[in-house]
């Protein structure tokens, strides 16, 4: 084989027009090695030598393989270098988070205790789905809960609408769909994610942008920069690595169902959409069916389903009279046809000692039975505490109804009230009053009045600003950590200009308060010209200081890392750390700037022989007060976490509408099955429960 190797080597060297010396130089081997191989003196070339000679001769394919075979060697296949794919890693992380979340939700809602209620469906009427030519081939869509993925894959377009009346099992189906699809998922398949459509306003934001916002809200790590300049969440949506499971089309605000359906028809995204029948039918009649989508309708539970399920939920033989009544038809048979009502009945009677389901036989009207089950749910899960918690749940439901949402979002507490600006103003005013009193000493009448005036002005200014911001750009959770960017961008400059105007206004208000204090307690000590000079110092100093602080805030914001979690408590904690860390950095910068700028201004005034009353101690006091007071006022009025503190932790508990330990109350309601988690927010277990409690207000 070595002689054949020499023959091939000489033949291909000559074809390339190379001398032995030139080939040796190109291959990085000795001239004696090339000569010895060609004449057969060397019979066992090393693998590296053969590869270098083949590279130098630019051999590929069959010729390269022939040369290695002649040397008695097989060239090892070199694996392509593994390229890092940030979207693949993000999708895999998202998959783990989604699977863990919805598996916990199934356990929390006792879906498998003792067995899942049977959920079956039939094909929807033809007028509620598109032509099979557009869907991609006709198929039998009948099935049951454990076949949901199989049925979905029969739909060629991968666009399926699931219809059903209230409580018919749509949420149970979406949860099982996500978990079963994740179990069978290949690494290249999209990750199914449940999106609650109730918060989507299709006339304000497109579907893809809204989905990206929801992903970042529930999974903050997806707010990191993506490969194309946007966020990772937006990149996942655009690359169709997320399969949207759009739950609750009927929960979109009234009047927006038809625009929502039009918006859905502008996309070609594979999806699964759930809705009550009537709302979807109305939207279809006013626009068109969901393009390329098949549709199914969830079926009612049967008497046999109840007979197989209810007796298994308790060791006591208490359900026989109820089942006998159901077999005879009537109001009870009409009510116990949805998983929601059956689950309520099970929780009230099977899971609660000394509650006999035979009391259901006293009712003869379907609406009356439903009201009884809904009204008995809280006493069943809370026992003696029911009367205490019912008003709190009622306030929550009323708050969500006024906001037009189903999401109990911690950053939205208080936003449905009419006194948000006043409440924030009072909080800021009291906080600044306390700071001024401590620093200036409110033991004297002058100190107390001055502190009160400062608190009043700060409260009014920040209360007005909060009210304006809450109306134009509602405060949301901060998805950032502290990190200085490499360069200043447009956002930094715009924030700086905002700070310049805001700080100038605060400086003018501060000078006005000081003037009033001098007029009240030291009349004649300062002239009108002196007071104007004070204003000429405060306005630019405070304005430039606020511009620096606001710009620094913008420059220090960067996305949270992958370790950030998306539960309500974790997001609150992340926001608190962010706000407090930001204040720890920005407040000293603002305070030192005020001290330095004031010293420069005073030096300039003294240079022109203008009488001033400033002292170094006074300048340091001013910097301390304005830095700490301004930072605290900013937190309480212009951050979502501050809004949470003002309303959820003080104002609403103080007025008796919510408990003082609100996070613990919400978590307890979740563990009892009254609420469910959907990422960073809570929701009532079912929209019917929310409607029930809202009517109690």
> What mean pLDDT is reported for the chain?
80
pLDDT for position 462: 67
Given a cut of 70, whether residue 268 has pLDDT beyond it is yes
Same domain, 504 and 639: yes
Could you tell me which residues are beta bridge partners of residue 159? 271
In a domain, 642, yes or no: yes
Same domain, 476 and 617: yes
Q: Is residue 366 assigned to a domain?
A: no
H-helix or E-strand spanning residue 43: none
Query: Which token pair is 148?
Result: 């949901």
Whole-angstrom distance, CA of residue 147 vs CA of residue 153: 10
Does residue 84 lie in a domain region?
Answer: no
Query: Between 174 and 438, whose confidence is greater?
Result: 174
CA 520 → CA 328, 435, 515, 523, distances in Å?
86, 22, 9, 6
Of the candidate ranges 203-217, 265-279, 499-513, the one whose mean pLDDT is the lowest: 499-513
Q: What is the pLDDT of residues 626-679, one digit of tens each?
A: 777 777 777 777 778 888 888 888 888 988 889 999 989 999 999 888 888 877
161 forms bridges with which residues in the sheet?
273, 295
Same domain, 28 and 132: no
Query: Model confidence over 369-394: pLDDT tens digits?
Result: 999 999 888 888 898 888 999 999 99
* Structural domain includes residue 80: no
Between helix 61-70 and helix 2-15 the angle, nearest 10°, is 140
Do 463 and 559 lie in a common domain? yes
The DSSP letter of residue 408 is: B
Which pair of tokens denotes residue 18?
Answer: 């190379």
pLDDT in tens, 35-90: 888 877 776 777 778 888 888 888 877 777 887 877 776 666 554 454 567 788 88
Q: Which domain holds residue 181?
A: 90-299
* DSSP of 270-288: -EEEEE-HHHHHHHHHHS-
Q: How far apart are CA 607 and CA 665, in angstroms?
A: 63
Instruction: Convert 197-237 into a string of H (helix), E (strand) and C (coil).
Output: HHHCCCCCCCHHHHHHHHHHHHCHHHHCECCCCCEHHHHHH
Residues 226 and 248: their CA atoms lie apart, in Å, by: 29
Whether residues 60 and 143 share a domain: the answer is no
Tokens of 281: 């039918």
Give the position of tokens 């356990």: 107
Q: Are residues 51 and 119 in the same domain?
A: no
In this structure, the answer to whether residues 157 and 268 fall within a common structural domain is yes
Which pLDDT value is given to residue 427? 66
Say what the alpha-carbon torsion angle 502, 503, 507, 509 is, to the nearest 10 degrees. 30
Q: In the β-sheet with 271-275, what is the strand arrangement from edge to edge?
A: 143-144, 120-123, 294-298, 159-163, 271-275, 242-247, 191-196
* Whole-number Å distance between alpha carbons of 353 and 380: 9
pLDDT at 440: 53
Across residues 469-488, what is the average pLDDT? 59
Beta strand pairing call for 271-275 and 242-247: parallel
For residues 597 and 605, give the distance between their C-alpha atoms in angstroms, rounded to a whole number: 12
593 falls within a domain: yes
CA distance 123 to 162: 10
From residue 507, give the alpha-carbon distance in Å to each of 171, 457, 511, 542.
Answer: 54, 11, 6, 5
The structure's pTM equals: 0.70
The β-bridge relationship of strands 159-163 and 294-298 is parallel
The pair phi, psi for residue 294, each rounded to 5°, is -85, 165
- Please choose, from the candidates 401, 297, 405, 306, the residue with its C-alpha nearest in 3D space to the C-alpha of residue 360: 306
d(CA 120, CA 365): 26
Question: Could you tell me if 645 and 583 are in contact, meaning their C-beta atoms sit under 8 angstroms apart?
Answer: no
* 686 domain-assigned: no
CATH of residue 51: 1.10.260.40
* Exposure letters 372-400 (e unless 16+ CB within 10 A, then b): bbbebbbbbbbeeeeeebbbbbbbbbbbb
CB atoms closer than 10 angstroms to residue 468? 11
What pLDDT was estimated at residue 146? Answer: 87
What is the structure's pLDDT at 659? Answer: 93
**Three-class DSSP category at 123:** strand
Q: Note the pLDDT tens digit of each residue in 505-555.
A: 777 776 776 666 666 655 555 555 655 666 677 777 777 877 777 777 777
Closest C-alpha among 112, 665, 36 to residue 408? 665
Is 500 within the bounds of a domain? yes
Q: Which of 617, 632, 654 is the last residue of a domain?
A: 654
Of 683, 633, 664, 690, nearest to 569 by C-alpha is: 664
Among residues of the chain, what percentage have pLDDT more than 90? 21
Strands 480-482 and 557-559, bridge-based pairing: antiparallel
568 near 101, Cβ under 8 Å? no
Q: Confirm if 141 and 163 have CB atoms less than 8 A apart.
A: no
Residue 131 exposed, middle or buried by CB count within 10 Å (0-12, 13-18, 19+): exposed
Look at residues 616, 635, 654 and tell me which one is the last residue of a structural domain.
654
In a domain, 339, yes or no: no
pLDDT for position 19 = 83
- Mind listing the pLDDT tens digit for each residue in 558-591? 554 434 445 677 777 877 887 887 777 777 877 7
Residue ranges with strand state E in 117-190: 120-123, 143-144, 159-163
Task: Return the axis-axis angle of helices 490-521 and 528-555, rounded to nearest 10°.
Answer: 150
- Which residues contact residue 419 at a Cβ distance below 8 angstroms, ignoring those fewer than 6 apart? none
Same-domain check for residues 158 and 261: yes
**Hey, what are 426's tokens?**
């009072």
pLDDT for 1: 43
- Tell me: do 55 and 132 sit in the same domain: no
Distance CA 236, CA 258 (A): 27
CB count in 10 Å sphere of residue 87? 15
pLDDT tens sequence across 403-455: 888 888 888 887 765 556 566 666 666 666 566 566 555 445 555 666 666 66
- Using the predicted structure, report yes or no on whether residue 476 has a pLDDT greater than 70: yes
Check residue 187 and give left, alpha or beta (phi > 0: left; psi -120 to 50: alpha): alpha
Tokens of 575: 């926001």
Local confidence band at 209 (pLDDT 50, 70, 90 cut-offs): very high
What's the domain count of the chain? Answer: 3
**Using CA atoms, how far apart are residues 697 and 694, in angstroms rounded to an integer?**
6
Average pLDDT over residues 309-321: 86
My answer on whether 63 and 100 are in the same domain is no
- Whole-angstrom CA distances from 495 to 474, 491, 552, 579, 586 are 17, 6, 9, 17, 14
Q: What pLDDT score does 421 carry?
A: 57
Q: Is 558 exposed, middle or buried (0-12, 13-18, 19+ CB in 10 A)?
A: middle
- Do residues 54 and 5 lie in contact, with contact meaning Cβ atoms separated by under 8 Å? no
Residues 96 and 63 grouped into a single domain: no
pLDDT band at residue 3 using 50, 70 and 90 as cut-offs: low
Phi, psi of 274 (to 5 degrees): -115, 150
Between CA 227 and CA 83 the distance in angstroms is 14
Which pLDDT band, with edges at 50, 70 and 90, does 127 fall under? very high
Section 324-329 average pLDDT = 87
pLDDT tens-digit series, residues 184-196: 888 788 999 999 9
Domain boundary among 299, 321, 352: 299
Rg (CA), the chain: 35
Q: Give the separation between CA 23 and CA 86, rounded to whole angstroms.
A: 43
Write a three-state SS string for 503-521.
HHHHHHHHHHHHHHHHHHH
Q: Domain of 283: which CATH number?
A: 3.40.50
Q: Are residues 506 and 586 in the same domain?
A: yes
Nearby residues of 324 by Cβ (< 8 Å), 6 or more positions away: none
**437 alpha-carbon distance from chain centroid:** 40
pLDDT bin (cut points 50, 70, 90) of residue 491 is low
Task: Give pLDDT, residue 25.
Answer: 80
């Amino acid at each position: 084989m070595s002689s054949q190797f020499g023959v091939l080597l000489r033949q291909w060297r000559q074809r390339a027009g190379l001398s032995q010396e030139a080939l040796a130089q190109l291959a990085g081997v000795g001239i004696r090695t090339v000569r010895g191989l060609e004449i057969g003196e060397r019979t066992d070339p090393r693998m590296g030598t053969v590869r270098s000679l083949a590279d130098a001769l630019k051999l590929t394919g069959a010729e390269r393989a022939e040369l290695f075979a002649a040397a008695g060697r097989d060239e090892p296949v070199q694996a392509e270098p593994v390229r890092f794919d940030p979207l693949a890693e993000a999708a895999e992380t998202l998959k783990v988070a989604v699977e863990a979340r919805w598996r916990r939700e199934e356990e929390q809602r006792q879906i498998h205790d003792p067995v899942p209620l049977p959920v079956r469906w039939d094909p929807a009427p033809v007028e509620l789905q598109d032509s099979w030519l557009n869907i991609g081939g006709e198929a039998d869509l009948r099935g049951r809960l454990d076949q949901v993925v199989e049925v979905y894959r029969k739909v060629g377009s991968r666009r399926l609408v699931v219809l059903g009346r209230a409580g018919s099992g749509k949420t149970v189906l979406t949860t099982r769909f996500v978990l079963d699809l994740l179990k069978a998922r290949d690494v290249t398949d999209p990750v199914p994610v449940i999106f609650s459509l109730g918060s989507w306003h299709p006339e304000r934001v497109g579907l893809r942008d809204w989905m990206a916002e929801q992903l970042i809200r529930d999974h903050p790590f997806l707010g990191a920069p993506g490969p194309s300049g946007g966020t990772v969440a937006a990149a996942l949506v655009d690359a169709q690595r997320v399969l949207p499971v759009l739950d609750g089309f009927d929960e979109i605000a009234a009047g927006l169902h038809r625009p929502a359906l039009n918006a859905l028809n502008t996309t070609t995204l594979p999806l699964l959409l759930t809705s009550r029948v009537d709302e979807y039918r109305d939207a279809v009649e006013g626009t068109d069916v969901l393009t390329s989508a098949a549709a199914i309708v969830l079926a009612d539970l049967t008497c046999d389903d109840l007979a197989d399920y209810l007796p298994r939920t308790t060791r006591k033989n208490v359900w026989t009279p109820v089942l006998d009544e159901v077999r005879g038809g009537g109001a009870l048979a009409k009510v116990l046809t949805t998983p929601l009502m059956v689950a309520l009945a099970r929780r009230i009677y099977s899971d609660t000692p000394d509650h006999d389901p035979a009391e259901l036989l006293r009712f003869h009207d379907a609406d009356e039975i439903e009201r009884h089950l809904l009204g008995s749910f809280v006493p069943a899960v809370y026992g003696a505490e029911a009367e205490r918690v019912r008003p709190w749940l009622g306030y929550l439901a009323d708050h969500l109804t006024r906001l037009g949402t189903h999401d109990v979002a911690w950053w939205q507490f208080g936003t449905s009230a009419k006194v948000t600006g006043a409440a924030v103003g009072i909080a800021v005013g009291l906080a600044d009053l306390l700071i001024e009193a401590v620093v200036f000493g409110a033991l004297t009448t002058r100190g107390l009045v001055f502190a009160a005036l400062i608190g009043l002005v700060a409260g009014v200014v920040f209360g007005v600003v909060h009210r304006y911001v809450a109306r134009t750009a509602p405060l949301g959770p901060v998805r950032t950590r502290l990190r200085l960017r490499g360069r200043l961008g447009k956002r930094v400059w715009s924030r700086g200009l905002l700070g310049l105007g805001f700080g100038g206004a605060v400086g003018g208000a501060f000078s006005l308060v000081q003037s009033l204090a001098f007029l009240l307690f030291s009349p004649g000590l300062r002239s009108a010209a002196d007071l104007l000079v004070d204003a000429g110092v405060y306005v630019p100093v405070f304005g430039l200081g606020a511009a620096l602080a606001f710009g620094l805030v913008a420059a220090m914001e960067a996305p949270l890392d992958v370790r950030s979690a998306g539960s309500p408590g974790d997001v609150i904690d992340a926001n608190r750390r962010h706000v407090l860390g930001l204040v720890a950095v920005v407040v000293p910068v603002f305070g030192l700037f005020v001290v330095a700028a004031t010293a420069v201004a005073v030096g300039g005034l003294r240079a022109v022989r203008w009488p001033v009353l400033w002292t170094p101690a006074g300048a340091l006091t001013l910097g301390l007060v304005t830095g700490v007071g301004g930072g605290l006022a900013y937190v309480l009025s212009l951050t979502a976490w501050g809004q949470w503190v003002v309303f959820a932790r003080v104002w609403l508990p103080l007025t008796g509408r919510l408990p003082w330990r609100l996070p613990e109350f919400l978590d307890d309601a979740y563990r009892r099955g009254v609420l469910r988690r959907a990422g960073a927010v809570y929701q009532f277990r079912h929209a019917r429960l929310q409607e029930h409690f809202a009517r109690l207000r």
